[in-house]
Amino acid sequence: MISTNEYFDGHVKSLGYASAKGKSTVGVMEIGEYEFGTSTHETMVVIEGEMDVKLPGSSNWVTFKSGESYTVDANEKFQVKVPVQTSYLCQYK
Amino acid sequence: MISTNEYFDGHVKSLGYASAKGKSTVGVMEIGEYEFGTSTHETMVVIEGEMDVKLPGSSNWVTFKSGESYTVDANEKFQVKVPVQTSYLCQYK
């Protein structure tokens, strides 16, 4: 089964599936600013577009572009701003 | 707007958005075999998983893995077999 997920009134949508490594989603974010919480360790990879990210414990925004990635531990919160519609891969473990 | 698309009774789902280069989708295919038709030139990139592809005019199946890509011209048909749930990026132009 491919799960369909919507967050922030449909401003973020994702499709969930099983990969060789575990659970993954591919998704798209509308232009905007979001706070996400993790329940597992997440690796986020920008597919197209751009994400400005404030990682847990950081006060700085860091920009991630196509092909770049970052990780967030379980049970953390992080902020994301996207200046253009942005697609991503999220790998959970 | 992020569009949500379903094909083959939900065995293929995708999310559509605008990229810097044009229109794109990220999607997921269930295990199975599919025939797709193009209305524009498409570049397909495997994100996770694996696609066996029979390109237009070819009688051979060629395997594309994570990070690998292929292109299909407008108004063509091509066959895809996926042995595991597989995510992809499709760029249209």
Partner B contacted by A73 (CB < 8 A)? no
pLDDT of residue B60: 97
Q: Give the pLDDT band (50/70/90) at residue B36.
A: very high
Across chain B, mean pLDDT equals 97
CB proximity A90 to B under 8 Å: no
Q: Which fold has domain B3-92?
A: Jelly Rolls (2.60.120)
Residue B45's pLDDT is: 98
Closest partner residue to A17 (CB to CB) among B20, B28, B89 is B28
- Mean pLDDT for B20-39 is 97
Is A20 part of the contact surface with chain B (CB cutoff 8 Å)?
A: yes
Q: Does B44 touch chain A (CB under 8 A)?
A: no
Contacts of A90 in chain B (CB under 8 A): none
A41-65 CB burial, b ≥16 within 10 A, e <16: ebebbbbbbbbebbbeeeeeeeebe
What's the pLDDT tens digit per position in A11-30? 999 999 999 989 999 999 99
ipTM confidence score = 0.95
Contact between chains at B87 and A18 (C-beta distance less than 8 A): no
A44-55: pLDDT as tens digits = 999 999 999 999
Name the pLDDT band for A64 (thresholds 50, 70, 90): very high
Nearest to A87 among B26, B28, B30 (CB): B26
Residue type, B7: Y
**Which of A1, A18, A48 comes nearest B24 by C-beta?**
A48
Q: What is the pLDDT of residue B24?
A: 98
- Average pLDDT, rounded, for chain A: 97
Residue range B46-90, pLDDT digits in tens: 999 999 999 999 999 999 999 999 999 999 999 999 999 999 999
pLDDT of residue B13: 98
Buried residues in B1-27 as b, exposed as e (16+ CB within 10 A): ebeeeeeeeebbbbbbbebeeeebbbb
Q: Between chains, do B15 and A28 touch, taking CB under 8 Å as contact?
A: yes
Going from N- to C-terminal start, the domains of chain A cover: 3-92
Q: What mean pLDDT comes out for the span B5-29?
A: 97
